[in-house]
Structure 1
Amino acid sequence: MMRKIGCIALLLMLAFAGFRASAQQKTDVAKPKEISPDLFGIFFEDLSYAADGGLYAELIQNRSFEYSPADNRDWNSMTAWKYETDGFGYGTISVETAAPVHPNNPHYILLDIQDEGQKGVGLENSGFDGMPVKAGKNYSFSVFLNVMSGQSLPVKVALVDRKGKELGSSSFTTSNKGWKKYTEQIHVNFDNDSAKLVLLIKAKGKVGIDMVSLFPEETFKNHKNGLRADLAQVIADIKPKFMRFPGGCLTHGDGIANIYRWKNTIGPVEQRVEQRNIWNYHQSVGLGYFEYFQFCEDIGAKPVPVLAAGVSCQNSGGTWRIGGTGQKGIPMEEMSAYVQDVLDLIEYANGPATSIWGTKRAAAGHPAPFNLEYLGIGNEDKITGIFEERFRMIYDAVHKAHPEIKIIGTVGPSPNGEDFDKGWKLADQLSVGIVDEHYYEKPQWFLKNTARYDSYNRLRSKVYIGEYASWGNTLFNALAEAVYMTSLESNGDVVRMASYAPLIARIGHTSWNPNLIYFNGTKVFPTVNYYVQQQFAANSGNEYLPGIIKLKGEKTVIDTTAGTSSVRDSATGDVILKIANAGNATLSGEADLSKINKLPKSATLIVISGDPGAKNSSDTPQAVLPQSSVIKLKKKWAFTVPAYSLTVVRISGANAEKRK
Structure 2
Amino acid sequence: MGYFKESLVILLVAVLGASQGSVLNVRYDQPGHEISPILWGIFFEEINHAGDGGLYAELIKNRALSPKRHGANLDGYAVVRSDGVDGRIYISHDHPLNSVLTSSLRLNVDSDVAAGQRIGVSNNGYYGIPIRPDYTSYRVSFYAKAIGFSGPLTVQIESTDGRVVFATAQVPQITEEFQKYEVTLTPTPDMIQNPSLDNLFTISANGPLSANSSIFFNVMSLFPPTYKNRPNGLRIDLAQKLVDAKPSFFRFPGGNFLEGNTIEERFIWEETIGDNAQRPGHMGCWGYYSTDGLGLLEYLEFAEDLNAEIILGVFAGYALNGDSVPPEEMGPFVESALNEIEYIIGNTSTTWGARRAADGHPEPFPLTYVEIGNEDWFSSDYYIRYPIFYDAIRARYPELQIIATQDVNTRPIPIRDDHFYSDFGWFPDNHRYYDTAPRNGSKIFVGEYATRDNAHPQPEANTAAAIDDAAFMTGMERNSDIVIMACYAPLFGHLNDLVWKPDGIYYNGVQSFATPAWWVQHLFSVIRGDTYIPTDSDANVGLPQEKIFHVASRKSDTNTLILKIVNTNTEDIMIDTVSLTGISTTQGGTMTVLSGGQWDQNDLENPLRISPRSQAFNVTSNSFTYNAPAFSLTIIEIQL
TM-score by length of 2: 0.90
**1:533 and 2:521 equivalent?**
yes
Q: Structure 1 residues 613, 334: CA separation in 2 closer, same or farther (over 3 Å shift)?
A: same
Match of 1:49 in 2: 49
1:609 aligns with 2:595: yes
Give the corresponding residue for 1:372: 367
Greater alpha carbon shift after TM alignment, 468-477 vs 276-285: 468-477
Alpha-carbon offset, residue 565 of structure 1: 0.8
Instruction: Please give the per-residue CA displacement for 1:617-636, whole angstroms capped at 9, x wherever unaligned.
Output: 23543332211001124351
**Alignment-mate amino acid for residue 482 of structure 1:** A
Relative contact order, higher structure (CA 8 A, sep 6+): 2
Distance in 1 (CA, whole Å) between partners of 2:578 and 2:355 is: 54
Alpha carbons of 1:262 and 1:87: their partners in 2 closer, same or farther (altered >3 Å)? Answer: same
CA positional deviation for 1:333:
4.3
Q: Match for residue 462 of structure 1? A: 443
CA–CA separation in structure 1 for the residues paired with 2:543 and 2:387: 41
Cross-structure match for 2:250: 243
Q: Equivalent residue for 2:218?
A: 210
- Closer/same/farther in 2, CA of residues 387 and 429 from structure 1, 3 Å limit: closer
Distance of aligned partners of 1:384 and 1:46 in 2 relative to their CA distance in 1, 3 Å threshold = closer
Contact 2:27 2:534 (C-alpha < 8 Å) held by counterparts: no
Match of 1:37 in 2: 37
Residues 1:103 and 2:104 are matched in the alignment: no
Native 8 Å contact 2:259 2:318 kept in 1: yes
- Residue 60 of structure 1 is matched in structure 2 by 60
Query: Who is 1:119 aligned against?
Result: 117
SS in 2 for 1:140: strand
Which one is further off, 624-633 or 280-289?
624-633
Change over 3 Å in CA distance of 1:82–1:31 after alignment to 2: same
Q: Distance in 2 between matches of 1:78 and 1:345?
A: 33
Asked if 1:479 is matched to 2:467, the reply is yes
**Structure-1 separation of matches of 2:538 and 2:303:** 38
Question: How many angstroms apart in 1 are the aligned matches of 2:96 and 2:557?
Answer: 54
Q: Specify every segment of 5 or more residues in structure 1 that has no aligned partner in the other structure, as ranges.
A: 317-326, 412-423
- Higher mean alpha-carbon deviation, 154-163 vs 613-622, is at 613-622
Q: CA deviation at 1:552?
A: 6.3
Distance 2:438 2:7 in 1: 44
* Residue 228 of structure 1, CA deviation: 0.7
The equivalent residue for 2:575 is: 588
Out of 330, 334, 338, which is 2:325 matched to?
Answer: 330
Determine which of 264, 288, 294 is the counterpart of 1:281: 288
- Structure 1 367/643 Cα, relative in aligned 2: closer, same or farther at 3 Å? same
Task: State the alpha-carbon separation in 1 of the partners of residues 383 and 50 from structure 2.
Answer: 31
Deviations 1:533-552 (A, max 9, x none): 111011123321114x6466
Query: In the alignment, which residue of structure 1 is the partner of 2:187?
Result: 188
Whole-Å separation in 2 of the counterparts to 1:181 and 1:26: 65
Superimposed CA distance per residue, residues 162-220 of structure 1 (whole angstroms, 9 cap, x where no aligned partner) = 2202111000123433221110001113133321011013345433210011010x211
Write the deviation string for residues 212-252 of structure 1: whole angstroms up to 9, x where unpaired: 11010x21111111111111112222221112111211111
Q: Please name the residue that 1:200 is paired with.
A: 204
When the two chains are superposed, the root-mean-square deviation of aligned CA atoms in Å is 2.6
Of 447, 450, 457, the residue aligned with 2:431 is 450
The offset of 1:28, in angstroms, is 7.6
| 2:497 is the alignment partner of 1:509 | yes
| Helix, strand or coil at the partner of 1:394 | helix
Offset, 1:511? 0.5
Do the aligned residues in 1 keep the contact of 2:4 with 2:593 (CA within 8 Å)? no
**Counterparts of 1:126 and 1:3, CA distance in 2:** 39
- Count of residue correspondences: 614
Counterpart Cα distance in 1 of 2:5 and 2:633: 12
- Equivalent residues of 2:439, 2:482 under 8 A apart: yes
CA deviations 1:64-111 (Å, max 9, x no partner) are 22388x64xxx4111111022225444553312234223222221123
Contact 2:28 2:580 in 1 (8 A): no
- Higher mean alpha-carbon deviation, 386-395 vs 84-93, is at 84-93
In the other structure, the counterpart of 2:236 is 229
Please identify, of 275-284 and 352-361, the stretch whose mean Cα deviation from structure 2 is larger: 352-361
| Offset from partner CA, 1:101-151 (integer Å, 9 cap, x none) | 2322222112343533333322011111111113571111110112345x6
Look up the match of 1:307.
314
Matched residue SS, 2:381: helix
1:432 aligns with 2:413: yes
The answer to whether the Cα contact below 8 Å between 1:159 and 1:169 also exists between their aligned partners in 2 is yes
* Distance change >3 Å, CA 637–CA 609, structure 1 → 2: same
1:345-400: CA deviation from partner (whole Å, max 9, x where unpaired): 11111111332112222222222222111111111123655332222111111112
For residue 575 of structure 1, report the CA deviation from its aligned partner: 2.9
Residue 168 of structure 2: SS of its match in structure 1? Answer: strand
SS of structure 2 residue aligned to 1:133: coil
Give matches, 1:497-646, under 5 Å: 497-547=485-535, 550=537, 553=540, 560-583=546-569, 584-588=571-575, 590-593=577-580, 595=582, 601-640=587-626, 641-646=628-633
Give the aligned partner of residue 165 of structure 2: 166
CA change 1:622–1:243 in 2 (3 A) is: same
Distance 1:455 1:29 in 2: 23
C-alpha change, 1:448 and 1:556, in structure 2 (3 Å) is: farther
Aligned twin of 1:414 = none
1:381 aligns with 2:376: yes
Amino acid at match of 2:503: N
1:94 aligned onto 2:90: yes
Q: Return the offset for 1:591.
A: 4.3
C-alpha contact (below 8 Å) 1:147/1:174 kept by paired residues:
no
Shift of 1:521: 1.1
In 1: Cα distance, 2:568 partner to 2:268 partner = 43
SS in 1 for 2:5: helix
CA contact (8 A) 1:119 1:200 kept: no
Counterparts of 1:265 and 1:329, CA distance in 2: 23
- 8 A Cα contact 1:122 1:199, kept in partner: yes
Cα distance in 2 between the residues matched to 1:175 and 1:123: 16
- d(CA) in 2 for partners of 1:529, 1:37: 22
CA distance in 2, matches of 1:651, 1:98: 70
Q: Is contact 2:64–2:220 with CA below 8 Å preserved after alignment?
A: yes
Matches of 1:611 and 1:23, distance apart in 2: 30
Query: What is the alpha-carbon distance in structure 2 between the residues aligned to residue 600 and residue 556 of structure 1?
Result: 25
Instruction: Give 1:545's aligned amino acid.
Output: I
In 1, are the aligned partners of 2:387 and 2:410 still within 8 Å (CA)? no
Deviations 1:517-571 (A, max 9, x none): 1111111121111111111011123321114x646647999x7122111112345
For the residues of structure 1 that align with 2:232 and 2:583, how far apart are their CA atoms? 48
Task: Confirm or deny that 1:83 pairs with 2:79.
Answer: yes
| Amino acid in the other structure paired with 1:267 | G
Q: Distance in 2 between matches of 1:528 and 1:170?
A: 43
> Which structure 2 residue ranges, 5 or more long, are not aligned?
454-460
Deviations 1:292-347 (A, max 9, x none): 1111111222221212211112xx2xxxxxxxxxx111244441111111111111
- Given the two structures, how large is their TM-score scaled by the length of structure 1? 0.87
Deviations 1:469-522 (A, max 9, x none): 111322111111111111101100111111111011011210001111111111
Question: Which stretch shows the higher mean deviation, 33-42 or 561-570?
Answer: 561-570
Confirm or deny: 8 A CA contact 1:480 1:561 kept in the other structure: no
Letter in 2 for 1:502: P
